[in-house]
Structure 1
């Protein structure tokens, strides 16, 4: 007599056990990527909704560098202007998403890191956890530096306006400039995170980092010149100089990781082919 399935809880597929060595198939990688993107997106959405409820405070905070220039130059005709009926609503959505990305940075930065380095050993994961804790302060610190530098950049850029002209600034254009400016500084400060990540997985030894420091300095200045939305050299230097310092700090961390790795390396691996090893 055939066995009749009992009604009740539906049969759920068992979750696939993780490989102890951290190996994953292509399908597992794609599912892992989808899961982490979903977590990051939901977190950003929740933070953006909270930011939308505090829109006026955020608007005043980001408009303060503009208002500071206006107060220090009372002879100039300058103002923020909503050009269309939908501009105010569009600006609310844009600023809410921007603040949501910043506020949710601890979550999506962790999701990014966890997806990049799933196959590390327990010892390497302990080292990387300390570095994960540094990603959020670095990113937010870079964003804060961008906000601090912003008034000087506006002073320089608006200073090129000929006498007798006015700067009727569209709100959407101004906040697009401000958010891009701040995010460039925040993203640039994550540069050492990826350097140490590549070192932790064995792709970038510390020795190669110090040998290529001249090339790295040139690339940092090129990145600062291209990434900053202003054409003034002052802003480029204010981004490039901290990145250079962070590069050498990343080298120091990578050097410590390499030394620990060398101490844990068995001596018999260094024996020559014609020499009997201790093994």
Structure 2
């Protein structure tokens, strides 16, 4: 199994997809308990949801499951949300605070996974950022995520449908943040929040550096928006997805337009 799939596009936008993969090597799958083997915390069908929504965008997708190692966590293991419940670089529990392993991974196993999977994903993403920026003078990492809409261990109540994360405005330009927020807020079908419970994971915070011409935005979507049920077998609902894809297309087209316009403005001011 190739750890990462890269599809190169012509836009300044790169769609990062770190959590929709379901591959686990046999030895790692064998260490999981029955709960872990359900892979409940997958970003189910996110690749299908975004497929063809904005064809000029590049895609960098992790094919391995987040229980192998979480590609959206700090490789040092440091928590992204100090003081809040979360899961780690190699999760020991799931999003319901239930154990997922029969045998917990050892330090040596985690280090091996970090090199084989986590580093592979970010090497591919970093190369795509460099390629896109060399062409356009700017790159926008749009990190694609989804999660079950009710998880009391992680957050109170029901999650808004569309959760925009820019680490409180630090990972992208104000124009990009404002555009995405306004499109979501104007929707009559979907609720939204800017920098609520999910402010952007390690990918968003690591790559987002507007002064260098690299912008990053995380979009965390409640799975109730496009799945038939938020329980196994987590079936994709084409009717729901069609409605959601319309707003995602609008967001990505607007990001693309702003990103290209930013380059023109910078060139004009030189």
* Structure with the higher strand share, 1 or 2: 2
Per the normalisation by structure 1, the TM-score is 0.27
Higher relative contact order (CA 8 A, sep 6+): 2
Structure with greater Cα Rg: 1
